[in-house]
Structure 1
Amino acid sequence: MTKQNTQYFANPAGHPPQTDLLTDRAIVTEAYTVIPRGVMRDIVTSVLPDWEDTRVWILNRPVAGGATTFAQYLMEVAPGGGSAKPEAQSTVEGFIFVVDGELSVTIEGENRVLAPGGFAYAPAGSQWQVKNDGGAAAKFHWIRKAYQALEGYTAKPVFGNEQDLEPNPMPGTDNKWRTTRMLPVDDLAYDMHINIVTFEPGASIPFAETHVMEHGLYVLEGKAVYRLNEDWVEVQEGDYMSLRAFCPQACYAGGPSNFRYLLYKDVNRQIVL
């Protein structure tokens, strides 16, 4: 398969000039949150324990009235930086998706160097580490979820690059709406899906999806108009959306390029009562 000609938006950070208006597209409701790229500035970064030469934008964390099943970070690791112990909680699984630079990832002794589009899944309790051995900053998404173990099933490490995977077309869309699945979808060992969703200009989700799965959506490329609950919201590359369970959602891709986003959702488990 020939690799796709694609790019991934990497947060420019910095600060806007004093002449800019403060009005932006940030929205926080009980059904959804939209964090536009313009507010992901240096002033809202954090540093993390056990990480060297690294800063992070925390895009989602479990909060009352919001999405509660996962945390999502946008990480920036300087050359020589990284972590020998990224995950402090043995019950938490992790997924990394690189958007800029290169990142060396080792999980249970298996090492891969991930370029943009590269991904890695670290099962809960696994020994893993990350290092930036390159000459430029590495930027990547890190999605963390408390793993819901299932008797008889064991999640294993996964490595790959989304550009090497064949997307699955949605029925009746002439391949204009397609999904690249980076974790096994038919294996109950995995309790979350991480996908790249692609819409060609003019394609749409033609109904208001309303379901139990929570979502984290980071726009990698393009722009669209998203229907969230009762609102129409414009989004573009670099924007982030967090959707709680049962938030109605649909979209139209605006062009001129494809509209693509990194998608998290929780799946494959019984509801705990």
Structure 2
Amino acid sequence: MTQTHYYSNPAGLPPQTDLLTDRAIVTEAYTVIPRGVLRDIVTSVIPDWTGTRAWILNRPVAGGATTFAQYLMEVEPGGGSGRPEAQHTVEGFVLVVSGELTVTIEGETHVLAPGGFAYAPAGADWHVRNAGAAPAQFHWIRKAYEPLEGYVARPVFGKEQELEPFPMPDTDGRWRTTRMLPVDDLAYDMHVNIVTFEPGASIPFAETHVMEHGLYVLEGKAVYRLNGDWVEVQEGDYMSLRAFCPQACYAGGPSNFRYLLYKDVNRQIVL
């Protein structure tokens, strides 16, 4: 089985002796939220959830990414929600990074450990509980679903460690992508992948494309090229990229560089 690592946020607050300087950046092309600013004081309480707090990493804003919201959720033992999604038009994807989370979608129940994931179609009956003895942290990506005539998105459950990554061409497998939602089914209007770079591997050109991205670094470190700027990132950091933001990276050692990636796909541009 593939060895994997999933960073989980320790939160807390920095001591009064710390300097204020950090790596947080907000531009119209991209946003970088470093792990050092994901503290207790910036958490949100979500209606219909108990024993839960959330770090909201992305929401649609003018001049930024507009197609999705992304949360880092922490649920205490016994907490959860019988109605996690209040909007019937919104689909959801969760990836557990620490602890265990029991997820039920349309009557099918799975206990998700780190690397476990689930997709809930828009309008699905689903709920989540932490039945374990320790807090559970997971990523929750929400998107307004764009229906397509003749296609139906269905629930998906899985575990990253059990999936075969797809190597990128001409990279000797040193840049590879683990695809957690069906990529050849037009019923799904978003892809959620885990991208892995071995130390020294790179995206060797500035990708400039219509898809928006949310990227949460699960392991390792790298230098990212974003809209002409060089930005250092490490595990626990988050990047939100608007459409057409030029992007490339070099992975730095000693471990693999891995991130959770969202992108919107498979739909005509609405004018």
**What is the TM-score normalised by the length of structure 1?**
0.99
Residue of structure 2 in register with 1:104 after alignment: 102
Residue of structure 2 in register with 1:30 after alignment: 28
Residue of structure 1 in register with 2:40 after alignment: 42
Deviations 1:198-237 (A, max 9, x none): 0000000000000000000000000000000010000000
Q: How many residue pairs are counted as aligned between the two chains?
A: 271
Residue of structure 2 in register with 1:128 after alignment: 126
Residue of structure 1 in register with 2:227 after alignment: 229
Note the C-alpha offset of 1:6: 1.4
| SS of residue matched to 1:85 | coil
Residues in 2 aligned to 1:140 and 1:4: alpha-carbon distance in whole angstroms: 20
Note the C-alpha offset of 1:78: 0.0
Q: 1:144 aligned to 142, 145, 170, which one? A: 142
Residue of structure 1 in register with 2:188 after alignment: 190
Residues 43-122 of structure 1: pairs in structure 2 closer than 5 A: 43-122=41-120
Residue of structure 2 in register with 1:163 after alignment: 161
- Please tell me whether residue 255 in structure 1 is matched to residue 248 in structure 2: no
Q: Residue type of the partner of 2:138?
A: F
Residue of structure 1 in register with 2:206 after alignment: 208
Note the C-alpha offset of 1:4: 1.3
| SS of residue matched to 1:238 | coil
Deviations 1:63-116 (A, max 9, x none): 000000000000000000000000000000000000000000000000000000
Residues in 2 aligned to 1:208 and 1:7: alpha-carbon distance in whole angstroms: 27
| SS of residue matched to 1:253 | strand
Residue of structure 2 in register with 1:21 after alignment: 19
Q: Residue type of the partner of 2:73?
A: M
Note the C-alpha offset of 1:5: 1.2
Which structure 2 segments of 5+ residues have no match? none
Which structure 1 segments of 5+ residues have no match? none
Residues in 2 aligned to 1:69 and 1:178: alpha-carbon distance in whole angstroms: 25
State percent identity of aligned pairs: 85
Residues in 2 aligned to 1:174 and 1:263: alpha-carbon distance in whole angstroms: 21
Note the C-alpha offset of 1:7: 1.3
| SS of residue matched to 1:43 | helix
Q: Residue type of the partner of 2:26?
A: V
Moved over 3 A (4+): none
Deviations 1:242-261 (A, max 9, x none): 00000000000001000000
| SS of residue matched to 1:163 | helix
**What is the TM-score normalised by the length of structure 2?**
1.00
C-alpha RMSD over aligned residues: 0.3
| SS of residue matched to 2:141 | strand
